[in-house]
Structure 1
Amino acid sequence: MASAPASAPAPAPSEDRRTGTLLAALGVAAFSLTFPATAWALEGLGPWSVTLCRMVLAALIAGGALLALRVPPPVRRHWGGLLIVAAGVVIGFPLLTTLALRTSTTSHAAVVVGLLPLTTAAYSAARTRARHSRAFWAAALAGAAVVIGFALQQSGGRPSTGDLYLFGALLVCAAGYSEGGKLAGVMPGWQVIGWALVLCLPVSVVGAALALSFEPAHLTGHAVAGLLWLAIGSQFLGMWVWYRGMGAIGVARASQLQLAQPLLTLVWSVFLLGEHLTPAAPVAAVAVLVCIGVTQRARG
């Protein structure tokens, strides 16, 4: 790619922040469809088949793009971070949430995973020793409290067995998001997720073949559409804009945009899966949006 002319003005920091916020928000919108798409895919495939097949499809797309554009491999010092990205967002989160959705509804899973912004911000702060204002952390904790309260209200105060999978998914995904956001500051976001997917390709191909041989497959329109969205929309394009957005505005600040993701998923659950929302949903929506506004304006 040709470099910009020396006389071209550099984008203003405020423009970078606006662009980064928009890209991160697009990533959140793509991720909000992940659970409904997973529910569709599970109509025709087993959980291991769904997880591994989406990895293979996304890796083939990413690998093709890297090969076509002749992107050189990352330098050695970045491979450790890419391994964490692969373990967290390519393997760990998709597998654990898919296993959870065998027993949990998409709406319940969505609100539990709504804790992801707080776990991501905490991991990033511990990893980078970054400091944020009290207002930032107060709003983040308030948003997490709203999500927890909404989750308990949805489940009648008794967490489902799938919650163990979901809490594990929170931990591994927070690490993958944080490391990926850091890498996105030194390489394009699509290359971060692209190399992480390619890194897993040998394992995912073998795993997918084994999973399809042991789990029954009954491909339907829903199953195919769900699997394609998981591979293209969630695993590749969504992660592309998400990492690019995090690289521009920071991991902790971008992660707070995901407080809106559970509520978007609830909307999709109504339209795509026919689930019914409780009266608490609009109240939680307003509270979460207020928390997002505070975290986006709080200065570190």
Structure 2
Amino acid sequence: MVQTDSLDPKTSAFDLSAYLSDRRQQVEAAIDQALAIQYPETLYEAMRYSMLAGGKRLRPILCLASCELAGGTITTAMPTACALEMIHTMSLIHDDLPAMDNDDYRRGRLTNHKVYGEDVAILAGDALLTYAFEHVAAQTQDADPERVLRVIANLARAVGGEGLVGGQIVDLASEGNPDITLDTLTYIHNHKTAALLEVSVTSGAILAGATDTDVEQLRQYAQRIGLAFQIVDDILDITATSETLGKSAGKDVAAQKATYPSLWGLEESRHQAQTLIASAKAALDGFGELRQPLLAIADYIINRTY
């Protein structure tokens, strides 16, 4: 396991705000460069509309952080980081469609299909998804080809029937079902939300050549922050305003979706999220000072307000 203990995380300050701002700027510059407008212009404009609409850039930042943690570089991880945001943005474009969650706003502005129409929105999402894999394969530098292939395979699994798509279809099938169980709800969000966060963390470490043991520890961290992220999302859907969230608040209740607060209540949901975050941080024991960004991001997830 990576050991860099010259900095004691209990006594040393880590400026998460500055870290996130710096990494976000680097990611957005790379995305801007990767998605230059070309023919057919409408397609690329629609792709850029959603890709450059802001957002936390949490998934790419997690990828960069785990790569650095395992001894790699930002340059090595950046194509995968951008690909993760492409895949995430595709999921948001498709999620907002009338046939899915039917939302008019995302990240504080009109959703893609409200600007470009449903047909273009679907194709923009398709283009982002396929380009994500091309970008990893063609642009990754200074990484063993076998590691790159492993990352591509993991990305495909995380977004397909064993991941995001599988979680989404069970989510749609569960709408309006008053008898949905905790096991089903957890299945949905382990696949729909946590799977992409998990592959974000593990991909960076794999590209850097981390051991299987270290990758597994990071996987446990990611799975736990992923589920906590969803619990907090469910809480915010009830407690936050649409202006704060940048999307329509209260939609889960309106769609009769099962959520963690609907099963546990708000207080127990908060407790469960806090427990998951504590367990996630414990999974990083032994990594030394370079785990600081991942520790701070875990705290950010539990304390976020949007």
Q: Which has the higher contact order (CA 8 A, sep 6+)?
A: 1
Q: Same fold (TM over 0.5)?
A: no
**TM-score interval w.r.t. the shorter chain?**
0.3 to 0.5
